[in-house]
Structure 1
Amino acid sequence: MGVERRRGPAGAAVAVALAAAMTAGLAACSGTGGDTAPRPPAATSPTDRGPSPFTGLPATPAPVIAVKIDNVRPARPHTGLGAADLVYVEQVEAGQTRLLAVYSSKLPPAVGPVRSARESDLELLRQFGRPALAYSGEQAALRPLIDAAPLFPLTPSDAPGAFFRGEDRPAPHNLYARPARALDAAPDASTAKDIGFRFGAPPEGGTPVNAHTVRYPSARFTFTWSDAGDRWLVSMDGEPARTTDGGRTTARTVVVQDVDVRPSRFRDRGGSVTPYTDTVGSGTATVLRDGRSHEARWSRPSADAGTTFTTPSGDPLTFATGQVWIVLKAR
């Protein structure tokens, strides 16, 4: 379930209970969905609820927090992923991937495992205004760029009460963030706003598809359509993806966005070059919704602008309401 922001002893009690629940969940990941309850309205009037610009579902206007999530095999299953409004897939060193999950309309008790930020995240997140970014750390040379970016950086050093180590797996794959507590450390984080997505009835045409696979140098994702669930089932590296707190990982809309991926000036500790994923510009995309594949064009004219998706004829390409996955793939 979603949670309100908590402080003091109550928050500590929640953390203890959560750690136990996570350990049990990792031992037996089952369930029928990854959703949590929406955020309570707090001081906002219920009449302010309207369609979320991220999912198209009813939501109370709320701040945005993104969490950088580990995605190597030892980091799975994930926690809190089903509550995200948006999930971005990004290429990192050695051809592996990490996830950037964006939350606003729902806040799970915990998200993770949390890992370090990359330079590409700074450009990607500018379309959200000034969001919070929860992550585990960064290279020393990258920190000045993060400090200069329009976001609120939140690491265990910046907000120690917002992170904890789980006992379910060894470090570094056991760091989790409490998003509600993290937002307490970023009270001025931007509220969810229009980033270019449109929701509505399916576009005309499209090609029926049962499954679609996206390959990276050292990782792959497969999205398989489920008529019964009316959503795409996510598999990672040939195995069904699950969460510790919600069962099978799913998506209502999947966007495979063709982007430029080039070497950056940064390297990891092993000497591998960090890729830079450029999300400003334009190009082609494949949009999966309702068991069909649609050709699309994407456009983001500047870092401060949102990303629009259109049909080949230039009409807005509407997404299905619910969680959206944006898979950033080298063209």
Structure 2
Amino acid sequence: MTKKHGTGRPGRIVAALLCALTTAGLYGCSGAVAPDRPPGAEGRSPLTGLPARPGPVLAVKIDNVAAARPHTGLGAADLVYVEQVEGGATRLLAVYSSRLPARVGPVRSARESDIALLGAFDRPALAYSGAQSALNPLLAAAPLRRVTEGTAPGAFSRSPDRAAPHNLYLRPGRALAAAPDTGDVRDIGFRFGPAPSGGTPTTFSAVRYPAARYAFTWSAADRAWRVAMDGREARATDTGPLAPATVVVQRVTVRPSAFHDRNGAASPYTETVGSGTALVLRDGRAHEARWSRPSASSGTAFTTPDGAPLAFAPGQVWIVLAPRA
């Protein structure tokens, strides 16, 4: 469903409002918040390498314990980050721009690491369900647009089919309508195109966190990697099996932060500024890589060991922020 309402940001805002109001968010609004431009003039998404109209960036913090699965709306994300949280578990940060599903969730709370991670984007909207009180001033000062039950109550709803706190869902169209000055998508360092030479034929790769396991199995039929979490196939309620075209296992430093949960456990902080090694999975092969990000406001470059840009396969990208060995 796409509406045309003039050009530029005013047209985008009106389109976002219509997306939020149409059928109370029961249908997806793919492209509804993008500026009205001639087909093909806008090129390709810098997040997926696929044809897309430029639009605002919405990041959603998603619960990822067993009680929160299966997820909703995750298959429509351009980009999915996996982050470690308290107790060695993980949460997901899903980034949307090319298309918006009707619902996303379950939504959970933000972490300090999200601020630097989202610094590569231009004033993105961040939808989350809350944060530690001591973290709120940092989130308020960050270059992002906060979307919470307090700032946009109409964008959230509770599902009667899930137990709290795993039952909060977001309507992305309404979320962006509540944050009309959200910045449009821009280059965050990814490159797309033919695979580099070499690599190791790979049909399976696994990543372990202290209390979570991820597995990625190559599906030649889908030209994508089927995702499993804690030994079970990962699915979205609206689109079926999760299957990114590219998976990046980015090895990072995960250290204790200055923040603690209600039980006194330190919240992990994932360092995404700096450099290190990575493993890029695409087209049934694994490529050793290097990553580099000089500052929180810059994107992340992924290169081959000899320094050449390492292109991703066009499609959804997962970045697994894995603790360094």
State the TM-score, normalized to the length of structure 1. Answer: 0.91
Which secondary structure does the structure 2 equivalent of 1:5 belong to? helix
Find the partner of 1:39 among 31, 43, 67: 31
2:308 paired residue among 298, 302, 315? 315
2:139 is matched with 146
Checking the alignment, whether the CA contact within 8 Å between 2:276 and 2:291 is kept in structure 1 is yes
Aligned-residue identity in percent: 63
- CA separation of 1:9 and 1:299: change in aligned 2, threshold 3 A: closer
Q: 2:295 aligns with which of 296, 302, 313?
A: 302
Q: Which residue of 2 aligns with 1:14?
A: 24
Shift of 1:8: 9.9
1:161-310 equivalence runs, <5 A: 161-310=154-303
Residue 76 to residue 61, structure 1, CA distance change in 2 (3 Å) = same
Alpha-carbon distance between aligned partners in 2 of 1:78 and 1:290, rounded to the nearest angstrom = 25
Letter in 2 for 1:147: A
Q: Is the 8 A contact 1:232 1:250 kept in 2?
A: yes
- 1:9 CA displacement: 9.3
Letter in 2 for 1:69: I
Residue 98 (str. 1) matches residue 91 (str. 2): yes
Distance 1:148 1:48 in 2: 35
Query: Is residue 2:41 matched to residue 1:48?
Result: yes
Q: Describe the superposition over 1:177-213 as per-residue Cα deviations: whole angstroms up to 9, x where unpaired.
A: 1111111111111111000000000110000111000
Q: 1:184/1:205 Cα in 2 relative to 1: closer, same or farther (>3 Å)? A: same
- Which of 65, 69, 74 is the equivalent residue of 1:72? 65
Task: Note closer, same or farther for the CA distance 1:235–1:245 as it changes in structure 2 (3 Å cut).
Answer: same
Q: Number of matched residues?
A: 312
Deviation at 1:269?
1.5
What CA deviation, in whole Å up to 9, does each residue of 1:85-107 have, x standing for no partner? Answer: 00000000000000000000010
CA distance in 2, matches of 1:155, 1:135: 6
- What is the deviation of 1:326? 0.1
Q: Distance in 1 between matches of 2:264 and 2:105?
A: 25
Q: Which runs of 5+ in 2 are unaligned?
A: 4-14
Offset of residue 168 of structure 1: 1.6
Tell me the distance in 2 between the aligned counterparts of 1:8 and 1:285. Answer: 38
> 1:129 offset after TM fit, Å?
1.8
1:111 matched to 2:121 = no
Counterpart CA distance in 2 for 1:105 and 1:61 is 7
Distance change >3 Å, CA 151–CA 9, structure 1 → 2: closer
In the alignment, which of 16, 20, 25 is matched to residue 5 of structure 1? 16
By how many angstroms is 1:45 displaced?
3.1
Q: Distance in 2 between matches of 1:242 and 1:47?
A: 31
8 A contact 2:120–2:297 mirrored in 1: yes
Letter in 1 for 2:16: R
The answer to whether the 8 Å contact 1:258/1:329 transfers is yes
- Contact 2:35–2:55 at 8 Å: present in 1 too? no
Aligned partners of 2:71 and 2:106 also within 8 Å: yes
Shift of 1:126: 0.4
Check whether the contact 1:38–1:59 (CA below 8 A) recurs between aligned residues.
no
In structure 2, do the counterparts of structure 1 residues 317 and 145 end up closer, same or farther at CA, with 3 Å as the change threshold? same
Q: 1:185 to 1:37 in 2, by over 3 A?
A: closer
* Matched letter for residue 5 of structure 1: A
Amino acid at match of 1:204: S
**Alpha-carbon deviation of 1:44?**
2.9
Look up the match of 2:8: none
Which amino acid letter does the alignment assign opposite residue 230 of structure 1? Answer: R
Give the equivalent residue in structure 1 for 2:7.
Answer: none
Deviation at 1:14, TM superposition (A): 3.0
